[in-house]
Amino acid sequence: MVTVKDLAKMEDLLLKGNAACAGCPIGVALRTTLKALGKKTIMFVPACCTSVVQGIGPGAAISVPLFNTAFETAASVASGAAAAAEILGKDVTILAWAGDGGTYDIGLQAISGAAERGDNVLYICYNNQMYSNTGIQRSGATPLGAWTTTTWTGKTEHMKDMGMILIAHRVPYVAATSVGYPDDIYEKVKKAKEKKGFRYIDILAPCPPGWRFPSDMTIRLGKLAIETGFWLLYEYEDGELRFNGYTKLVAEGKREFKPVEEFLRLQDRFRHLFEPKRRDDILEEIQRWIKERFEWYLSLAKI
Amino acid sequence: MSEDAIKYLPLSKPKIGISGKTGSWRIFAPEINYEKCVKCHICVVVCPEASISLEDDRPKIDYDYCKGCGVCARECPVGAITMRRER
Amino acid sequence: MSGRKVIIDTGNSAVAYAVKDAEAKVIAAYPITPQTTIVEKIAQFIEYGQMDAKMIRVESEHSAMAAIIGSEAMGVRSFTATSSHGLALMHEMLWYASNARLPVVMAVANRTMGPPWNIWADWGDAMADRDIGWIISWAANNQEVYDFTLISYRVAEDKRIVLPAMVNLEAFVLTHTSMPFEICGEETREYLPEYDPAWKLDPDDPIIMGNLFSPADTMKLRWDMWESMERAKKVIAEAIREYNERFNRNYEGLIKTYKMDDADYAILSMGTMGEEAEVATDVLREEGLKVGTVRINFFRPFPREDIIKTLNGVSRVIILERSSSIGASGQIMQDLGQSLLLEKMQLDVNDVFIGIGGTDVSYEDIVNIVKKAIKGDLAPLYWYGSEGW
């Protein structure tokens, strides 16, 4: 397992002085991802916050080659690039790097196609559970009850489970992680890098302006999401589903998930569930769904 | 007609500080108390701006670009970083 | 690969042979009638070891264009083909290819859009993409299908241009009709060398394509596309001349003129409609009418100068349009009108909408309509056969 000291020494390929918000999880997720992948990486980035974080041309805040592409095409453009890389005999990682909007919704078709064909693409979704770049609208990844600018009284559906969709495609590697654990991100990206075929990693990325929390809580919320079971740390590899970190401890019965309220209370996107009056109906539904989802994952993990 | 060649392509080159000296965004600035600091390097790893580097194994903040988010202060396990109001 | 030889095969096969001889390395495509046999034949070439390339069997046309944009950006010559609804679905990514300056080549089997479902030929599908910076040609026979595809690669990749190119061939009339044509085989390499990109994605020299640009800088980028397209007129003419010399063809250039030297009246068209008009020209000449035909080979860049030159001395132009811009006029009429305006020239013009939705058109129909037009009996904008509808 990589250590913090190892990570601290690695070169940064995401450059400082960029256009990201203060406390933006991209600063942890992408920085760590590129440390694991190194310079021989070519990025394909659809419309998302990362498109803007690069800043205004003719300069950009990144020092690997990067192709900005149309919203729904991260996986399809990357598929073509992967074919070209093979023809050229180039030893390079083709990285599709997208937000949840471009992954769960508009980009889903291209991902499914690339996954079914087994195109040699590493697809990483940094997931802040909404259309952040366009101003915090709801996406398929938005959880139940969350405020967004298109769900003012809270989303009425649960989040889509993209990891399961990719597992159903039986790709070589599917993983879920969180910016709360940079070392976990590093290990999973590194592992995915060495594999061939379509690999998918979903990084939970708490977003200060979107989730409405003070900018210093990004990592803390990344951890709390895991500790409450709101998000899971897992890997699906060679047909086997395994948990990591705190999620693993809960699966082994050594710990319990903290009540999800501890996580929800810290974000104003859930404030309307507590003020002016407690919405126990929604809070109980969220807690119930967390329990039910984890039980489902546990049953698959035993197979 | 212009000369016989292409002049403008939609290409950019890597650049540090593409959005200027983003340190000017700050309201609060982090301050490291080196007596408390145990050189765990967590702040270096979690800084969203990649603005903390190592000098003699000690963290050094690049105030030209630090946006004052406070993640380093929050994550420091020994409370060696405090956020001081700048303006 | 072997040398030049004449084969008898369909227009779709002509495309496949051209892509094979051009040594394109990444082909991504999604099936749609009547493009299907282009991609089927390329798949056969690859899987039976006659062509060294990768085929990505994408899950939609949008992904087809996206995929070859990705491969072209890596520095690999790429290709796709589509038709009608597939082209319409791809539309967003056609912009992407031209604005990103990626010289991909695409064959379009012109087929009318639905509803209703209709698999036959008109030009509407390609016409909807004429504004966005693609080099666009229209073939009238299978030899042109083959030749224009190779010339398109040569021109698109030319460092003075670097814009994508589209070759149009009409549904079934060309796609599924067999004709003799010559393929160039290994000799293609002397005409079309290995792809040398103007820019590419390479970790040894990292660049970023397409992040945010200011309005002023964006305008310069579009201006550069405009200038490159203007330059293309000269570059295409050069490329055609060299092609003629190497492979014994007789292409005139961006247009083909037929009996225009002493013509009083001109028929203006494209593709197979234009070739049929040449037959009509002969019939009309026998009846004593001094008619000539102008056929546009390259519609973008619009060969304004060539057309104006050949129309000198002509009193009436009859345009045969296999598409219309509903609410305005035909698209060829729009570009011709612009040309006449810029030259301060005046002519009588008849814009005839004919063959739309795949309606069959023979030289007799054309003879009919031209005679009416010459008599002055025809409205300026006219749907052929519409009396009594």
Each residue's pLDDT tens digit, C228-259: 999 999 999 999 999 999 999 999 999 999 99
For residues C15 and C159, membership in a common domain is answered with yes
**Looking at beta carbons, which residues of chain C come within 8 Å of B5?**
159-160
* pLDDT at residue B2 is higher than 70: no
**Tokens found for residue A102:** 């471009």
Query: Both C33 and C172 in a single domain?
Result: yes
CB pair distance less than 8 Å for B10 and C221: yes
Whether residue C155 contacts residue C232, with contact meaning beta carbons closer than 8 Å, is answered with yes
State whether C126 and C275 are in the same domain: no
Considering C247, C277, C301, which residue would you say is the last residue of a domain? C247
Q: With the C-alpha atoms ordered A249, A250, A252, A255, is the resulting torsion angle positive or negative?
A: positive
Residue-level pLDDT at A302: 65
Task: Find chain C residues with C-beta within 8 A of B4's C-beta.
Answer: 160, 231
CB contact under 8 A, C59 and A109: yes
* Confidence at residue C119, expressed as pLDDT on a 0 to 100 scale: 97
Query: Which of these, A144, B5, A289, lies nearest to C228 by C-alpha position?
Result: B5
CA distance C102 to C73: 7
Closest residue of B to A9, CA-based? B54
Chain-chain contact of B15 with A216 (C-beta, under 8 angstroms): no
Last residue of a domain, one of C247, C281, C309: C247
Q: What is the pLDDT of residue C1?
A: 66
> Is residue C226 scored above 90 in pLDDT?
yes
pLDDT of B1: 47
Question: Could B64 and A17 be called an inter-chain contact, meaning their C-beta atoms sit closer than 8 Å?
Answer: yes
Inter-chain CB proximity B83 and A9 less than 8 Å: no
| Residue C191 neighbours by CB under 8 Å, 6+ apart | C150, C154, C184, C242, C243, C246, C247
> Can you spell out the DSSP letters for chain A?
---HHHHHHSPP-BPSS-SPPTT-THHHHHHHHHHHH-SSEEEEE-SSHHHHHT-BTTEESBSS-EEE--TT-HHHHHHHHHHHHHHHT---EEEEEEESIIIIITTHHHHHHHHHHT-S-EEEEEE-SSBTTTTSB--TTPPTT--BTTBTT--SSPPP-HHHHHHHTT-SEEEEEETT-HHHHHHHHHHHHHS-S-EEEEEE---IIIII--GGGHHHHHHHHHHTTSS--EEEETTEEEE-HHHHHHHTTSS-PPPTHHHHTT-GGGGGGTSSS--HHHHHHHHHHHHHHHHHHHHHHH-
C-alpha distance from A4 to closest chain B C-alpha (Å): 6
From chain A, the residues in CB contact with B71 under 8 A are: 23, 215-216, 218-219
Q: What is the 3-state secondary structure (H, E, C) of chain C?
A: CCCCEEEEEEHHHHHHHHHHHCCCCEEECCCCCCCHHHHHHHHHHHHCCCCCCEEECCCCHHHHHHHHHHHHHCCCCEEEEECHHHHHHHHHHHHHHHHCCCCCEEEEEECCCCCCCCCCCCCHHHHCCCCCCCEEEECCCHHHHHHHHHHHHHHHHCCCCCCCEEEEEECCCCCCCEEEEEECHHHHHHHCCCCCCCCCCCCCCCCEECCECCHHHHHHHHHHHHHHHHHHHHHHHHHHHHHHHHHCCCCCCCEEEECCCCCCEEEEEEHHHHHHHHHHHHHHHHCCCCEEEEEECEEECCCHHHHHHHHCCCCEEEEEECCCCCCCCCHHHHHHHHHHHHCCCCCEEEEEECCHHHCCCCHHHHHHHHHHHHHCCCCCEEECCCCCC
pTM for the model = 0.96
pLDDT confidence band for B87 (50 / 70 / 90) = confident
Instruction: Report the CATH number at residue C263.
Output: 3.40.50.920
Residues of A in contact with C92 (CB under 8 A): 70
Give the one of C160, C209, C230 whose C-beta lies nearest to B5's C-beta.
C160
Cβ <8 Å between B1 and C162: no
Taking only the tens place, the pLDDT of each residue in B51-68 is 999 999 999 999 999 999
Q: Which of the residues B49, B57, B74 would you substitute to probe the A interface, choosing the one with the greatest number of A C-beta atoms within 10 Å?
A: B49
Which member of A54, A69, A88 has the closest CB to residue C74?
A: A88
Q: Which of B1, B4, B9, B16 to mutate to test the interface with C (most CBs of C within 10 A)?
A: B9
Residue C220 near chain A (CB below 8 Å): no
Residues C243 and C260 in one domain: no
Q: Are residues C44 and C121 in the same domain?
A: yes
Instruction: Specify the residue for token string 């604005």.
Output: C99
- Cβ atoms of C121 and C112 closer than 8 Å: yes
Domains contained in chain A, CATH given: 4-300 (3.40.50.970)
**Residue A81: which of C60, C74, C206 has the nearest Cβ?**
C74
Q: Quick one: average pLDDT of C50-78? A: 98
- Regarding whether C142 and C69 lie in a shared domain, the answer is yes
Residue C162: is its pLDDT beyond 50?
yes
Q: Average pLDDT in the C131-160 region?
A: 98
Structural domain boundaries enclosing C219: 5-247
Q: Tell me, yes or no, whether C191 and C56 share the same domain.
A: yes
Query: Which pLDDT band, with edges at 50, 70 and 90, does C72 fall under?
Result: very high
CA distance C181 to chain B (A): 35
Report which of A17, A35, A15, A215 is spatially closest to residue B45, judged by C-alpha positions: A35
Q: What residues 91-120 of chain A have any CB closer than 8 A to a CB of chain C? A: 92, 109-110, 112-113, 116-117, 119
Of B2, B5, B11, the CB nearest to C209: B11
Buried b (16+ CB within 10 A) or exposed e, A167-187: bebebbbbbbbbbbbbbbbbb
The list of chain A residues with pLDDT below 50 reads 303
Class of residue A265 by CB neighbours under 10 A (exposed 0-12, middle 13-18, buried 19+): middle
Total domains present in chain C: 2
What residues of A are in contact with residue B12 (Cβ under 8 Å)? 54, 57-60
| Cβ-defined contact of C56 to A119 (cutoff 8 Å) | yes
Give backbone dihedrals phi and psi of C74, rounded to 5 degrees, phi first: -80, -10
Residues C271 and C376 in one domain: yes
Residues C223 and C262 occupy one common structural domain: no
Q: What is the pLDDT of residues A144-199, one digit of tens each?
A: 999 999 999 999 999 999 999 999 999 999 999 999 999 999 999 999 999 999 99
Domain at C211, CATH number:
3.40.50.970
Chain A residue numbers touching B16 (CB-CB < 8 A) = 15-17, 61
C233 and C284 share one domain: no
Final residue of a domain: which of C213, C247, C281?
Answer: C247
Mutate to test the interface with B, among A34, A41, A178, A216 (most CBs of B within 10 A): A216
A8, A15, A21 ranked by CB distance to B41: nearest: A8
Cα–Cα distance, B50 to B27 (Å, whole number): 18
Whether residue C71 is found in the same domain as residue C188: yes
* pLDDT cut 70: percent of chain C above it: 100
Interface chains of chain C (3 or more CB pairs under 8 Å): A, B
Considering the domain architecture, whether residues C67 and C11 belong to the same structural domain is answered as yes
Tokens, residue C221? 């980028």
